[in-house]
Structure 1
Amino acid sequence: MAPPAKTTSRRRGRRQGEPVSREAVLRAAKQRFGVEGYEKTTLRAIANDAHVDPSMVLYLFGSKAELFRESLRLIIDPDALIAALADGDGDIGTRMVRTYLGIWEHQDTAASMVAMLVSATSNPDAHEAFRAFMQSYVLTAVAGALGGGEQARLRAMLAATNLVGTAILRYVMRVPPLATLPADDVVKLIAPSVTRYLTASAQELGLPEL
């Protein structure tokens, strides 16, 4: 009787018994999204970079859009913004603008910020993921630092209009003279408006009752 034929199984992804690192997948996603943008990035490419099976990426995050949203936290850390609001040199607006522009200016995050913001303005899924990130993490965290409530959330959103608008014109569209000014000059120009949104009385700002 002939011996049974040997069967071989092809391993995919991580080595057997090796734990899947959620952080490794997020780091790989941040890198891919930052270089290729949302539309060109595939879950398979991210999985290959993280050395896991593509099915595990879906298991951990559910969708490409959710992975995009979560990977934004590696670039825009809400805790860093809260720390800037809580303590540091200068008024609250100066601290917040300096921290925010620092993310755009830093060599490790600058390209990723541009690619992800461009994705958020050109792809519906990326747009929704970015909006959810801003609402769930950034605005919630900043509003909490301001005391919480709907008015605090509105204040945070008004401040964000200055910050995001500045980023689009300076770093994405590169419109001079805003794009060519030193970062410290931009901080001095933008900070007073941010400070006003965050600290002026509700009556002065004309905030509605929410």
Structure 2
Amino acid sequence: MVSVSHPNCLRLLGVCLSGTRRCLVSEYIANGSLDCYLRRHKVNTKSAAFIEPICLCSDLATRNVLVKRQDLVQITDFGLAKMLSGDEEHVPIRWLAVETLTSGRYSFKTDVWAYGVTLWELFTFGERPYANIDTADVKRYVLEGGRLMQPDICTLDAYQLLLLSCWRENPEARSSFIELLHLLQSRVGNPEFFLHDRVSHLLCARCIL
């Protein structure tokens, strides 16, 4: 991971293995994680931050996306924290795909699922996924076909083409990152695709001000 170099990936500088605590060492990002940034600033953008995967993340969520600048975010962790600690109890079950919940498998397609949940976090300003469901019941809910609800500000088109397409039970039926990237790029100048008219108009007014 130290050799990974990409503008949207936080550079891992090293690992501290001394003592009882094991730590990852990376550059300092003053704005902190995206989930906290969203809650502080109630930020909406005309398009979602996106990178084509260059390696398997396995723990994609807004808490693991750091805001370096308003126009630049970086992915961190890549599941390394859990690997170093050996802690199997603190599994991010609310971001896990069906096949991970049933067999523990991770792939780019499970990252696509987690990316959909991360987009849902963006649309809800960092709300907790399945907030009204106990952690112990999330697995059963997802395996029975339950999915996160359409966010209030999200259009039906964006919900179906961006979010639900990431959460299909069959991994091969899910959108690929390339397909998602093409969709986002094709709609980048059209905020009405992502957000209800009243919200997108408010954002445009705020941009003018």
* TM-score above 0.5, yes or no: no
- The structure with the greater share of residues assigned to helix is 1
TM-score by length of 1: 0.29
TM-score by length of 2: 0.29
- The structure with the greater share of residues assigned to strand is 2
